[in-house]
Structure 1
Amino acid sequence: MKIQRNTYLSLGTNQGNKVENLQKAIHLIEDRIGDIQKISSVYQTPSWGFEGNDFFNICIKVTTDLESEELISSLLEIEDVLGRKRTLKDGYQNRNIDIDILLIDDEIIFSKKLIVPHPRMLQRKFVMIPLSEIAPCNIHPIEKKQISTCLKNCDDSSEVSLTSEKLIRPIPLSEKYNYIAIEGNIGAGKTSLANMISNEFNAKTVLERFAENPFLPKFYKDKERYAFPLEMSFLADRYQQLTDDLAQFDLFKNFIVSDYYIFKSLIFAQVTLQKEEYLLYRKMFDLMYKEITKPDLYIYLFQNTDRLLLNIKKRGRDYEQGIEPSYLKRIHSGYKNFINTEKKLNTLIIDVSEMDFVKNIEDYNYIINKIKHY
């Protein structure tokens, strides 16, 4: 589990469409830095320390697992993306976006690249007023006083006016969903993605206990003989696990992410069972399915067959090495039919055939952004 730290940022702009500049910065911070928990009102202030257009200023609270050096580098990249033009001139200047780190939890940092708390924040009302709005009781780690008290002690005489402008706070993944189920064919990367999401967002995982099933190695050696006991044992185990785990949310976890959904049982049963066995199996499944909590988001990871076979070979489970392409294609067809007919599920299909989201952070971030903005 990554350690999340509460970080407070000051954003300002006095060029172009100022509200749009702030909103774009907010979305980029949410994409690249972390979840935005709070956004202050928008305040208008005269240019501070130079002659220029009035500024729009806000403060935001963001939770991030980035270390301080990586955090400052990412914020500078966001300023560059938004067109911040830096010059060699001394003093303050007009800018279309300016992002400053004010506080990182109760840390005190003195380095070549970063000083926290921001060394001039206590002298600036355009910082202290929006910060006091969203964090009045936070303690300044050097002054040892609440932010609201620090604001009262600020001797900045510049005029700061509340505007009627409104900004949109992106909804974090942990607030948007209570339960995400990730599905896909054998070797699609379901468990890897579930674990990565859990690690980043402090989610509780519900992972399929396939390794504990004694029928699985036997099934791959003799499918006809062991298909029915395998599918029945999987169904019973999945039902019990989902019923137990989804019935009570962990108080210290934001949401649940699983690497399977119980409908998987029916899809595999359609492929592996004889007609008479399937009809009996279906009766049992229908009774259980009514009782299972449905996910807020159902994600299907699509991998082409060649990539699936490569992934299966790489992970090296002996009993899987004989899986044939035709078997994988039949399973995919079962998922496809399920997705097309189960209209009540909120389904997101992501093609990961050309991705390596475990090793490539850009691929992983692409998937997370697809989920966030779906």
Structure 2
Amino acid sequence: MNMQHQVILSLGTNQGNRLKNIVSCIDGLHNEIGTIIRVSKLYESPSWGFESDNFYNCAVVMHTHKTAHQILEECLLLEESLGRIRQDAQVYQARIIDIDMIAIDEEIIASEKLTVPHPEMQNRLFVLLPMKDLNLDWRHPILQKYLHELLVLSEDKSNCKLVQKLEIPIDKIKLNHFNYIAIEGNIGAGKTTLTNKLAEDFNAKTVLERFADNPFLPKFYEDQNRYAFPLEMSFLADRYQQISDDLAQFDLFKDFIVADYHIFKSLIFAKVTLAEDEFRLYKTMFDIIYKEMPKPDLYIYLYQSTERLLVNIKERGRPYEQEIPAEYLEKINSGYLDYIKSKSDLNVLIIDVTDRDFQNNQKDYIFILNEIQNKISN
């Protein structure tokens, strides 16, 4: 899965309740467009390039899979919903809200509608000072200078005054309350997608299942009876080794660990794929290993209907998965739900994501974050 873009936006307002405008804009960006992971302090400065009331300005960092032009279009719609009325685009105006895209990663974009990095950013103290608060390792891809160098070189000497701190929306979700989160679900449910998004947004270490390296997996889908036992044994050994190693290696730079599987999935899949005598032998091995494994502080199960799973599997296009029958997926779903019911000591959160696209629809992702926070609160 591709990593999310890091987008830097500059927000400004000099009409109405300026603080409320900024806060409403940050919330709108976070809930509708992309995840706001950092917010600068709020500054007040004179209008730039024309005579008008003083502006409030801040900068934010947003994570999203959307393209720069998609972000631009959605920001324009957000401005409009917050009350901005655009007139002559060639003339600076007082405005209730202004969202400028300063940068997206270290890309260079020059189109009819969008120029990135913003061509005036290095000349504007009300952009540079808030960006400094974001503590980014970002270099201007054209000027080849870091932010502290741009500040030194800037000729803008306007009076840019600190007003106050601002809240970061994502800080309301206390995921670092846990040390170890496991995300589970059926084939094609979106486990890895959600794991990577949470890790990028919340500074977590990932433990991702190494299914692509298993030589028995393509063979299993061609001849299940012959390859089911070696497949399940190899998965069990690999999952045990990976989780043991990764959870033992504490990362000083990450807040917690999030995995896209829990080792108990080995038993769920084995029960579906193995003959009865093979499963008895397998379970004996599994029980020995399972006693030694750390248990997740939070176990999230992503439920999706069989119909949606089949669509997802087709769209991601792995050749060896294309012939998976619906009956097999239904057995796996039942296995997971039976397991969850039997584990009273496991902190479980089931989220139905059948009609949700949490990679491309920010509202769906926020729904999942809120479900997790509700679980934490309760």
Alignment TM-score > 0.5, same fold: yes
Residue 63 and residue 309 in structure 1: after superposition, are their counterparts in 2 closer, same or farther (change >3 A)? closer
Helix, strand or coil at the partner of 1:170:
helix
Larger mean Cα displacement after TM superposition, 164-173 or 135-144: 135-144
Give, in angstroms, the shift of residue 10 of structure 1. Answer: 1.6
Query: Displacement, 1:60?
Result: 2.6
Unaligned runs of 5+ in 2: 201-205, 373-378
Q: Distance in 2 between matches of 1:334 and 1:227?
A: 17
Look up the match of 1:40. Answer: 40
Unaligned runs of 5+ in 1: none
CA distance in 1, matches of 2:116, 2:221: 56
Cα deviation for residue 58 of structure 1 reads 0.9
What is aligned with 1:207? 210
The AA in structure 2 aligned to 1:369 is I
What's 1:96 paired with? 96
The match for 2:72 is 72
Q: What residue is the counterpart of 2:293 in the other structure?
A: 292
Q: Does 1:148 align with 2:151?
A: yes
**1:131 partner SS:** helix
TM-score, normalisation: structure 2: 0.68
Q: In structure 2, what is the equivalent of residue 170 of structure 1?
A: 170
Give 1:98 shift. 0.7
CA deviations on 1:314-367 (whole Å, 9 max, x unpaired) are: 97769976x684x75554343223334545655443334446x5xx9646x555
Q: Quick one: structure 1 residues 316 and 77, their matched pair in 2 at CA, closer, same or farther if it must change by over 3 Å?
A: same
- Residue 206 of structure 1: SS of its match in structure 2? coil
* Partner of residue 366, structure 2: 369
Alpha-carbon distance, 1:302 to partner: 2.0
Matched, 1:242 2:239: no
TM-score, length-normalised on structure 1? 0.68
Structure number with bigger Rg: 1
Q: Shift of the alpha carbon at 1:196?
A: 8.0
Contact 1:350–1:367 (Cα < 8 Å) also in 2: no
* Corresponding residue pairs, total: 357
Question: Does the 8 A contact of 1:4 with 1:65 survive in 2?
Answer: yes
Structure 1 distance, partners of 2:3, 2:230, is 43
Q: In 1, Cα distance between the equivalents of 2:111 and 2:257?
A: 38
Match of 1:339 in 2: 340
What is the CA–CA distance in structure 2 between the aligned matches of 1:114 and 1:93, rounded to whole Å? 19
| Counterpart contact for 1:8–1:60, Cα < 8 Å | yes
Partner letter of residue 131 of structure 2?
L
RMSD across aligned positions (CA): 5.0
Partner SS for 2:300: strand
CA distance, structure 2, for counterparts of residue 258 and residue 239 of structure 1: 13
1:42 is matched by which residue type in structure 2?
L
Show CA shifts across 1:33-53 (max 9, x none): 65545322112335552344x
Equivalent residue runs for 1:1-374 within 5 Å: 2=2, 7-30=7-30, 36-48=36-48, 49-52=50-53, 54-62=54-62, 67-88=67-88, 91-103=91-103, 110-134=110-134, 141-142=142-143, 146-151=149-154, 153-156=155-158, 159-170=159-170, 181-185=182-186, 188-190=187-189, 193-194=191-192, 198=196, 205-208=208-211, 212=216, 216=220, 220-221=224-225, 234-248=235-249, 258-268=259-269, 284-295=285-296, 298-305=299-306, 325=327, 329=330, 331-342=332-343, 345-354=346-355, 357=357, 362=360, 365=362, 367-373=364-370, 374=372
State the Cα distance separating 1:56 from its structure 2 match.
Answer: 2.0
**Distance in structure 2 (CA, Å) of the matches to 1:135 and 1:312:** 39
Q: Quote how far apart the aligned CAs of 1:204 are.
A: 6.0
1:66/1:252 CA distance change after superposition, 3 Å: farther
CA contact (8 A) 1:207 1:259 kept: no
* 8 Å CA contact retained: 2:30, 2:169: no
